[in-house]
Each structure stands twice: as C-alpha cells, then as structure tokens.
Structure 1
Amino acid sequence: MLQKHNAEAHMIQYRNGLHCTARILKTEGIKGLYRGATPSFVGIAVEGSLFFGIYSQTKVYLQGGVQSGEPRPQVIIPSAAFSGAIISFVLGPTDLIKCRMQIQGTDSLVPKSSRYSSPLDCALKTVKAEGVKGIFRGGCATLLRESIGNVVFFSVYEYVRYHMHSNIKANSSNHRNLVDIGVGIASGGLGGVAFWLTVLPLDVAKTLIQTNPDKNCPRNPFGVLSSGWIEGVLYSLGATVSRAFPANAATIVAWELALKMLGIKRD
C-alpha cells in the first residue's frame, strides 16, 4: 500500500506505516488490514514447501551428497538463486492478486463497479481483460527479487548460523534446543532484513507494474525504477524491515523444527 500510493501522483499519501494502518482501520475496519490475505496465505504455503525443498535438494546435489559443516558460496549461491527463480512463478500471480485486492480498498480512482469481490474474481477478471499472460504481469521483477534476494538471505542465514553454533556450547539436550531456537531466530531474522534491504526497490517496481491500470504499461522493472520509485522505497522501508525480522525468524525456526521432527540431518 505504501509502495503504490506514495510512488504515484493523485494517490492518498501516507506519512508512515502507522498512518497507513490508522487510515485503513478508520475507513475499512479491521477487515481492511487483511484485504488480499487469502492469496498471500496460499502463496506462502506453496512457496515454503517448494522453496526450502528445492534449496535443500539443490545443495545436496551440488555437494555431491556429502554434508559439509562450513558454508560454501559455490553451493549456497546457485542453490538459493535456483530455488528463488522457481518459486517466482508461484509468487508472481499470488502477489498480483494480493496487490490489486489491497489497493482497491482505499484507491478512490477505482469505481465500486470495477472492484473485485474476491481473489478468484480478481484472477478471472485479470485473465479476461489481459489474457493468461496478464496474471504473470511483473514476473520479471518477481524473478529478479526472489533470485537476488534469496542469495542474500541464505548467505546471511547460513553464515550467521554456522558462526553462532561454532561459538555457542550447550551442556545438555534442553540447552541445545534453546540454542537452536535462538540461533534460528537470529539467523532467520537477520537474513530476512538483509533480503528486503537488498531487493526493496525491485519489490516497489513489481507492485507498480502489477497495479498499473494500463495493461500495456512498461514491464521492465529498471525502467520503472528510473522515475518515481524512491518515494515508495522510503515510505515502505520501515514497515517492511520491521516485519522482515519476526516473519523470517519464525519461518526458519519452523523449518528447522520440522527437519528435526522428521529426523532430517542438517549440515
């Protein structure tokens, strides 16, 4: 919301994330905060399953099936980039539906007759108006965001995790569990912050491309970034980074806990 409305003319201007939240609550109520949540939940569920599975299996393949304790860039970088590229094909359509559902609630330029009644309605109307390729609008920006961002994310995560485990000794299994959770929170949270600090401009470009009412609008993210994007980055930076740490910390802790419960050994 901050990316779209503060990066284009004739839109509602939000001073910060708190101002945006307060205005949504005032005009739409609590349900306004969850507008577009359904495609996000679906996208995240599919993304998480594919993402970590592809990353882990690609790492195993590149390591020749041999586990190595110390992180290796020649393994992490291609594994992260490949998994990010694959999931971008899932995230592209779900992000488009989410963004379009979110902006219509406060966008005075969208007449009520043209608003979407549900995520499915949004998807069907998009395909009808723009064809199947319309649902993948912003795909290039999404692919770049996920490939580049996840290289940064996993590089930070793997190195922070390795060095923290190397320097923290646990004297019992209970302490080990607490250490694992603490390391997961720190490494996942820092990885998430690094991800968004790196690719936030690409995310702003993606949002502007996906929500542009002109179906023939420019699709090159770098062309979009050449003008009018800095406001979207600056206004959404605080909200994005403050969300990144807890969200990614929780994701990593859940992933590592699932691996432990399934008896899958980590490096």
Structure 2
Amino acid sequence: MVWVYFAGLMAVSFAVTRLMLPKVMGMLTEAGFVKPNYRMEEIPLGVGMVFFLSTVIVLTGAVVFGWVKPSVYAFVFAVGGMSFFGLIDDVFGTRHATGLKGHFKKLFVDKELTTGALKALAGGLIAIMVSLQSDDGAGLDKWILLILNSLIIALSTNAVNLFDLRPGRAAKVFLLIGVFLALAGCFSTSGSSEHIAYLAVITGSLLAYLPVDLKARAMMGDTGSNVLGLTLGYVTVFIMSIPLKVGFLLLLLGFHILTEKYSLTKIIEKNKFLNYIDMIGRK
C-alpha cells in the first residue's frame, strides 16, 4: 500500500512538471538567460527551478489532504534555499575559482567572496538547520551526530553538482542513489515513509525533466543539481542507521578529494562501464 502512495506522489509531481516545463523554459529563454551547452548551442539555464516549483505545489496539496505532516516545511525550506543560492551562482557566478578548495581559498586567502563560496556557506547553514530537526542522540552524542548529519547533507549537495557537467549525468546519479535509499527505507524502523515521500516527489519531477536534459535542450544548472543533492543527503540523514551514515560520509569525503585532484569527466570517459552509463539516452 505504501508503494502506491509513493507512486501516486511521483506521478502527480511528474504531471505538474510536464505542465510547467515548457513555460519555465520559454520564460528563461525570453529573459535571455541562456548559455552554450557542450555542443555550443544556446539553451536555457537554471531550468532545474522546476524541481522546487513542483515540490511546493505537490507537497502543499499533500499537507492540505493530510498525506504528509507539517514537518515537510523543513524540507521545502531546504530545497528552496539551495535552489535560490544555486540560481545566484547560475546568474552571477564566474569560473575563475573552481571546487570547494578554490572558492574557500578565494574567500580566506584573497578575501574575495565568490558565488560558489556563498552557496557553500549557505548550504552549510541550511544543512545544520535541517540536521537540528533530527532527534538523534543526547548530550555529546547529539553534537557528534549533528556534525555527521550536516556534513552528509552539505557534501551530498555539492557532490551531485560536481556531476552536472554532461547531459543526464547528475540525474542518473540521483536516480541510482535514490533507488538504493527507497529500498533501504523499506527496512528502516525510523518512520522513513515521510522522507521517502519527499524523494518520490523530486524523482517524479526529475523524470519529467530528464528528456530535455538528455537531449541537451536545457540545463538544470546549480539551481537544479543542488536540489537533487540536498534531497539525497536529507533522506539519508533521516532514514539511515548511524554506521551506514558514517560509511556514506566517508564515500563523500573520498569523492571530493578525488575530484579536487582529477577530472571527473576524464575518469568516466576512460572507464568503459562508466562511460556506457553516462551515454545512455544521449546522442
């Protein structure tokens, strides 16, 4: 029965996004908010705002009908915040600093605030605010788990953003991890259905958007990839056991260290299996 509930939310979110997507793409194109894709074709940027718009519409309706609890507002706040700061980076961002290391070097060494550093700082604060909603532990344990949960949310947000360099790549990463989280949620005893519902809403919206991304007709931008990453981190924090969260954090830390030293795109292109997955659905 619970899977019917999740599928229903996903279907509604899919339909809402399909209705909004042409309008959002037209609005951004009309406003001149376009950018060359990897084939040097001018396409609208920041189309990932449809994820937040769909989330607000679907989850507001779900609250009205009593399908989700009012605690959903914490998730909506987090998604909206990261979408907003992602949009700032899409609109005003420059590329003279890249990666977390580059942006923080600009901030602390050169005393220059980049949009990437602003997004990272805001993302960290949002991650802490969200993590405070968890009732994990007490005393010293509570502070340790707050740090653990906050790092997972913040690094998950940035990790998906790092994948968003080719059509469909960030979406595929989200869907692969999302399937794992949905299955893990079935065996969780922490009341995970509420959080899997949030995952279902974002997934439905992403599936409606994905065809235009794979065809390189639109870019989700940081406006969208931040929402995808935050959602994965958010759901992980609230449904996973502590050992699994520690393991996931170690993977995130390793991934960020790797991408600071090596090109993720080159790693994928040199690996036949990864390159095959990367090319699915693309011309």
The TM-score, its normalising length taken from structure 1, stands at 0.34
The TM-score, its normalising length taken from structure 2, stands at 0.32
